Amino acid sequence: MANKLTDKTIRSFVLGLIIFKPIFDLDWRWPLFFIGTTPVPFHRIVAILVPIMIIILASVKTLSGNTIYINNNKYLFFFLILVTISTIINASLNSLDEYFRILSFITIFLLFPILLQDVQKFYKVAKIIFLVSIIPTLISYFQAFNLISGSYIDYLPYIGKIGRITGGYHHPTGYLNYILVLVPLAIYLYHKGVMSKIFFWPWVIFTIPMLIRSFHRATLIIIFLVLVFYILFNKKIWLKITSIIFFSILLAFSFNYIWAFINQGDALTGFAFRGRENIWPIYIDHFQSSSFYQRIVGLGNPYLLSGANEPHSDWLRILYNYGYLGIILYILFLVNVFIIFIRKLLKIKKKNWVESEAFLGIILVIIIILYSITMEPLRYSSFSWIYALVLGFLYAKTCKHKKIFIKKHKVMEK
């Protein structure tokens, strides 16, 4: 009885941290705790707690003799081992910080069947996540209308100086990372009948304007692609028409800004990636000039003394931090997951594709592949926690679990 109580308490605590992440992240802009005059980074403490508590939860269930089920993906498991070894070899505060960021993603995905043991629990958690997402969106509206401070002041070519919405984060990407996962998830839940029309349409209409107001090319382009997927494969005419309408609205408000960055002249002058093309060669040269074993297992530190700050690309960051082995294992993980979802989708009638877990899984894999080109989604927990939770759910619904200990125990319903 005590073990069950402990198990339930830890699980509820971890899920609470994940669900209410945007509220804890308000500490980015408006810190609540101070030591003297120095703000205590509460959001960073929460980020460290999550993977530790998930591991403790798995340990408690193991010690109690229960059957343990995990999302069985050997590539991600070996990636975790490699990341751990690389962090030990290249021990520093920065490498340890990077380790916990990666560890959160991996533990939430691999141990998802321990966090949520049946479908209905995930649906309930998802509904709460959408309710909580209203808070950063509402803050973004307040920033857009200059009712509160905290906008990110930026200079955008062809637009000029502007205060970009942040949703309470230090930078707009904190909020956008979060919403980018929720948009396709909302469409999936709506098609499954889990999210009602009364909530779905107001949420979409309430959120879309802030996506436009962010002036963030990568997010907008990916949202375009998500809508295109649903336009092409949705068999319900009225939903297809609705998707086309939202696509047109997004395109109308964003076209000039996006085109200014992707036309050839701007690409040649450096506008296309806002200086990233000047940063990437620095990291690549530094990586190639490192020792053989560093190129194999990585340098473990994404911050260079050259002033390049950070890679601004998850592909490059993982290569630099964890070497050729790291990037190969990570790519194999994504390819493996993608193939699993493709195989599952091909077994489903085409008219049912858009409401299937496999279809959403394919979209999420495409999102992280594209987003990682110019962004660092796995480095930001506002993306990686929700992404890992949703992908873990889809993977658990699609694949067989790996049994660790033998004792009768409830497993996720298929």
pLDDT of residue 268: 39
Confidence of residue 400 (pLDDT cuts 50, 70, 90): low
| Chain centroid, CA 324 distance in Å | 23
Res. 361: pLDDT tops 90 = yes
> Once rounded to an integer, what is the mean pLDDT over residues 378-383?
87
Is the model's pLDDT at 410 over the cut of 70?
Answer: no
Lowest mean pLDDT among 9-13, 98-102, 274-278, 304-308: 304-308
> Could you say which DSSP state residue 402 is in?
E
| Cα–Cα dist 76/388, whole Å | 12
Residue 259 confidence (pLDDT): 59
Write down the residue that tokens 């929460």 correspond to: 46
Rounded to whole angstroms, the Cα distance separating 172 from 211 reads: 10
Mean pLDDT across 194-216: 86
Other beta carbons within 10 angstroms of residue 30's beta carbon come to: 12
Most confident range (mean pLDDT) of 161-175, 188-202, 228-242, 262-276 is 188-202
Determine which of 112-116, 144-148, 157-161, 227-231 has the lowest per-residue pLDDT on average. Answer: 157-161
% pLDDT > 70, the chain = 83
**Is the pLDDT confidence value at 367 over 90?**
yes
Would you state the structure tokens that stand for residue 393, as one six-digit string?
Answer: 């759910």
Lowest mean pLDDT among 160-164, 252-256, 383-387: 252-256
Q: What is the mean pLDDT of residues 306-321?
A: 82
178 residue type, one letter? Y
Contact indicator for 172, 166 with CB cutoff of 8 Å: yes
CB 204 within 8 Å of CB 250: no
The rounded Cα 58 to chain-centroid distance in angstroms is: 23
Burial of 193 (0-12, 13-18, 19+ CB in 10 A): exposed
For every residue of 38-70, DSSP letters joined together read EEP-HHHHHHHHHHHHHHHHHHHHHHTT---EE
The mean pLDDT value of the chain amounts to 82
Output the pLDDT for position 160: 64
Helices within 64-111 (DSSP H only): 74-89, 93-110
- 392 neighbors 112 (Cβ within 8 angstroms): yes
Pair 341, 394: CB distance under 8 Å = yes
Q: What is the mean pLDDT of residues 345-367?
A: 90
Based on its alpha-carbon atoms, the radius of gyration of the chain, rounded to whole angstroms, reads 21
- Comparing 332 with 168, which gets the higher pLDDT? 332
The reported pLDDT for the residue numbered 253 is 61
Q: What residue segments make up the domains of the chain, in order of their start?
A: 2-403
pLDDT at position 262, please? 54
Distance CA(109)–CA(384), nearest Å, equals 10
* Residue among 42, 36, 78 at smallest CA distance from 381: 42
- Give residue 404's pLDDT band: very low, low, confident or very high (50, 70, 90): very low
pLDDT tens-digit map of 265-306:
444 344 556 667 778 888 888 888 888 988 999 987 766 655
Residue 23 · residue 132 · CB < 8 Å: yes
What average pLDDT does the segment 224-233 reach? 79
pLDDT band, very low/low/confident/very high, at 163 (cuts 50, 70, 90): confident
Crossing angle (nearest 10°) for helices 197-213 and 217-233: 140
pLDDT of 22-65, one tens digit each? 898 888 778 777 777 777 777 788 888 999 999 888 888 777 76
How high is the pLDDT of residue 264?
43
User: Is pTM beyond 0.85 here?
Assistant: yes
- Average pLDDT rounded to a whole number, residues 169-197: 89
